[in-house]
Chains A and B, each alone.
Chain A
Amino acid sequence: MAKRIDVSGLTAYYGSHKAIEDISMTVEPRSVTAFIGPSGCGKSTFLRTLNRMHEVTPGGRVEGKVLLDDEDLYGTGVDPVSVRREVGMVFQRPNPFPTMSIYENVAAGLRLNGSYKKSELNDIVERSLKGANLWNEVKDRLNKPGSGLSGGQQQRLCIARAIAVEPKVLLMDEPCSALDPISTLAIEDLIGELKERFTIVIVTHNMQQAARVSDRTAFFNLSAVGQPGRLIEIDDTERIFSNPSVQATEDYISGRFG
């Protein structure tokens, strides 16, 4: 189910501004890859090129290749809509649909894309909420609005919504930055469970979090403000945090930097 991502020579622009340049990396299936790096170095931009959300931004443009198990996401004739069904996304701020109940939020991806039987949907909703460790907290109020949940619960609701459509890859952009330590822990545990089924990429500013949850870590940096961000190195998380091969990585991780 999980798929490998192979990026080669990827450059992304906002209008004429080059945000990231010439990034190549491989993301292994059934693993967690963390992106770290200073603010503005293009982590979010790069993440959004992996499911073609980058081009939703006005002026957003991408050059290069992203292979999802040998299929180029930017090849001719590829429909971004089907790409996004394969590669799901969780955003920094929880964003449940305000007009929908908890149940409808989880079912949204399926319902908006086709028709399912009621019993089928019930099963998927329950499975997804259990998968997101939220089932016990909301099973008695599935018909209440999703916006009535706490921030941490809302974020897990968004994760449930994302995994309900059974993507192959799950992208998470700082999913815990708006959450308290306990919710953060809940989501980190969840990531540990989800990696059995999905390929996971997570952007984080929290070094400990990267060290805790990820198998591999990629460090991004930019040489100067206004310059495009680049991938400095990607390696096993243990190596990155103990013995990185580039000095800049060590400086960043040990806090001797910006």
Chain B
Amino acid sequence: MSTAAVTDKRPSTLRAASLPKWTSPAIAVGAIALGIGISFAADLHSEIQWALIAAVLFVLGTYGISARVEGRRQAKDRVATSFVWVAFLLAVIPLVSLVWTTVSRGVKVLDVYFLTHSMGVVADSEPGGGIYHAIIGSLEQVGLATLIGAPIGVMTAIYLVEYGRGRLAQAVTFFVDVMTGIPSIVAGLFILSLMLIFEMQPFGFAGSLALAILMMPVVVRSTEEMLKLVPNELREASLALGVPKWRTILKVVLPTSIGGITTGIMLAIARIAGETAPVLLLVFGNPFINNNPFEGAQASLPLYIYQQYAQSAGANAAYDRAWAASLTLIAFVMILNLVARGIARWKAPKAGR
């Protein structure tokens, strides 16, 4: 009796009516057309309103049509899918528009001359000049920050995952959490206060120190996650061979997770490469080329962008240079990401024969 109650509710065949593949695009086109139509009729001028109306229509239409043809379960599934799509588009639109704006405005003055000359003899309001000095500054400051931040971060993570027990580990975890939340300007002020104590003038390495402070917690967090992913069985296999713990970590644990760790470091570099505030405080900016990060003010890409906007009294040439520098910065971060992916793939534990 009870089994009959269950089987009755099931369709008698495994096949079910389903909408053809082109339904979703068709509903999307319909929803957009209808959305525009309604907007005209109601005299709405904002594209955002059009898009929202179209999105709502798309979700409703999908549910209605699918519920009628395929049944409610499939309809819910489709609605969930369309929500995901709408959310995806909402997230992608600003990104695409940002990249588009930067590229279209940035390419105007971006050429070899721009990349290989400084602003030394060019006033901020005049055309000409370039970002060579800023690239040098960024590379040196970020590079030094990485040299300090990445090893300390990785070693802290190794301590936390492989050795850390009890109070000290808890304290370290707590401080890493706190450091994650430090605003970049505060890190800058911290180093600045030290500089004032020792009566130093702005120089590149001071910026590196602040950037390293910002970078460390990010590296610790990501490295920790990667190390936790390494199966315990591998550690035990190595220990059972009579390999000391430190060599196990060095030769088995780290190689297994090196891809993920590098990705984490690259992302942390990408993050600090765009920091402006501490650089403004500590490195100050400099229109001339200064190759020495340990003495004298330097430029950096984010700072250059800011100063071109802020100090040029609205000159178009400066705006163009700012956009071109932005494009360079984005390209730099993008290249880092690609390199990170490449390393992760290259170093990933190999499967297959």
Contacts and interface: CB of A to CB of B under 8 A. Distances in A.
Interface of A: 51, 53, 56, 58, 81-86, 88-89, 91, 93, 95, 97-99, 108-109, 112-113, 141, 144-145, 147-149, 158, 161-162, 165
Given A95-B233, A98-B234, A165 B242 contact: yes
Contacts, number: 90
Interface string B243-280: 11001100110011000000000000000000000000
A99 B255 contact: yes
B351 A84 contact: no
A141 B353 contact: yes
Interface residues of B, number: 26
A58 B236 CA distance: 13
Interface string B205-238: 0000000000000000000000000010111111
B241 interface: yes
28 contacts: A53-B240, A56-B235, A81-B244, A84-B240, A84-B242, A88-B242, A91-B233, A95-B231, A97-B234, A97-B237, A97-B252, A98-B349, A98-B351, A99-B252, A99-B256, A108-B251, A109-B241, A109-B243, A112-B238, A112-B251, A113-B242, A113-B247, A145-B349, A145-B353, A148-B353, A149-B353, A161-B241, A162-B240
A161 B347 CA distance: 23
Given A58-B165, A98-B256, A99-B349, A113 B243 contact: yes
B172 interface: no
Interface of B: 165, 231, 233-244, 247-248, 251-252, 255-256, 347, 349-353
A145 B348 CA distance: 12
A108 B238 contact: yes
B352 A53 contact: no
B236 A91 contact: yes
Contact of B239 (A53, A97, A141): A53
A124 B240 CA distance: 19
Nearest to B243: A112
Contacts of B237: 91, 95, 97, 158, 161
Contacts of B256: 97-99
B interface: dominant SS: helix
Q: Which 3 A-B pairs have the closest CB atoms?
A: A85-B242, A98-B349, A109-B241
A145 B251 contact: no
Contacts of B349: 98-99, 145, 147
A109 B238 CA distance: 7
Nearest to B349: A98
A89 B239 CA distance: 10
Most chain A Cβ neighbours within 10 Å, of B231, B241, B349: B241
Contacts of A141: 353
**Which of B231, B236, B347, B352 has the most A CB atoms < 10 Å from its CB?**
B236
Nearest to B165: A58
B243 A147 contact: no
Contact of A112 (B231, B233, B247, B350): B247
Contacts of A148: 350-353
B236 A53 contact: yes
B243 A81 contact: yes
B248 to A, nearest CB: 8
A230 B247 CA distance: 36
Nearest to A108: B241
Nearest to A112: B243
A141 B247 CA distance: 27
B279 to A, nearest CB: 38
A83 B240 CA distance: 9
A257 B20 CA distance: 59
Nearest to B250: A112
Contacts of A85: 241-242
Given A141-B353, A147-B349, A147-B351, A82 B240 contact: no
B233 to A, nearest CB: 4
A109 B234 CA distance: 13
A86 to B, nearest CB: 8
